Amino acid sequence: MTEVAPVRRKAGRPTREQAEARHEELLDTAMELFLEHGYELATIEMIATRVNMTKRTVYARYPDKASLFLAAVRRGIERQVVPPEVLASFDNGDPAETLEAVARLRIGQMMTPNGLRLQRVINAESYRFPEIFVSNYTLSAGPVVDFVAGVLERAAAAGKLVPTNYQQAARAFTSMTIGGQTRAIVAGRPPTQEQIDERVSFTVRLLLEGLLPR
C-alpha cells in the first residue's frame, strides 16, 4: 500500500487576530524598553530585535520613534480606562460606599504591571511629550472625575450633602484617595490592602463630612 505524503499548507499571511496580537506585542515591548532605557536611549532597532521583527516592519507602521512611543503610551492609557457601565455599577445610592469602591478600583489598577509602567513612563517623559499627560487625563482619569462629580451632585440633590463645586470636589477626591497612593506605588512602596482600605475610608469620610448639611 502506497503511503500518501501529507500535504503541507503554504505559509500564508497572518490572520487579522494574529496580526493584531503581534502589534500589541510590539507596543507592550516598546513600553518596556522606553521605561527600561528612557526615550533617548531606546531605539527602533532595539525594540524590533526584542520583539523579533525587522526594522522595516516597525517603520511600516510607525515612521519614527516618537510615533511609536505615543502609540505605546496610548495603548497603556486605554487599558486603564474604566468602562462607564462598571462605574455605574458602583453607584448604589450610598455616596461613601460608591466613592470607596471607585478609589479601590483605581488604586488597584495603578498596582498592575501596566498601570505601574504607564505611570512611570508618564512621569519620566511628560515634559518631552505633554500630550501624554493630557491624554491620560482625558481618556482615563477625567471620566472618573466626572462620575464622582455626578455622585456628589445627586447626593446634594437628595439633601445628603450641601451643594458645592462638584468638579472641584471630585478632583480633590481623586487627589486625596488615589494620587497619594499612586506616588507611593510608583516609588516602590505599595501599600497593603489593609492600608488601602484604611486610607480610602478615612479620606472619603473626611471629604463627605466636610459636605454634610449643617
pLDDT digits (tens, 9 = 90+) for 63-77: 999 999 999 999 999
Contact present, 196 and 165 (Cβ < 8 Å): no
CA distance 80 to 142: 12
* Dihedral pair phi/psi, residue 161, rounded to 5°: -135, 160
Q: Does 8 score more than 90 pLDDT? A: no
Q: Grid cell 449643617 — which residue?
A: 214
Q: Does 155 score more than 60 pLDDT? A: yes
Mean pLDDT of the chain: 91
Q: Does 16 score more than 90 pLDDT? A: no
pLDDT of residue 13: 73
Domains of the chain: 18-77 (1.10.10.60), 80-210 (1.10.357.10)
Q: Does 10 score more than 60 pLDDT? A: no
Q: Does 3 score more than 60 pLDDT? A: no
CA distance 176 to 173: 5
Q: Does 4 score more than 60 pLDDT? A: no
pLDDT of residue 7: 45
Q: Does 20 score more than 90 pLDDT? A: no
CA distance 173 to 148: 8
Query: If you average pLDDT over residues 2-17, what whole number do you get?
Result: 58
Contact present, 87 and 147 (Cβ < 8 Å): yes
Q: Does 138 score more than 80 pLDDT? A: yes
pLDDT of residue 143: 97
pLDDT digits (tens, 9 = 90+) for 79-110: 999 999 999 999 999 999 999 999 999 999 99
Q: Which three cell numbers stand for residue 89?
A: 455599577
pLDDT digits (tens, 9 = 90+) for 27-46: 999 999 999 999 999 999 99
Q: At what angle do helices 142-157 and 95-110 cross, to 10 degrees?
A: 170
pLDDT of residue 12: 60
Q: Does 2 score more than 90 pLDDT? A: no
- Indicate the length of the chain as a whole number: 214
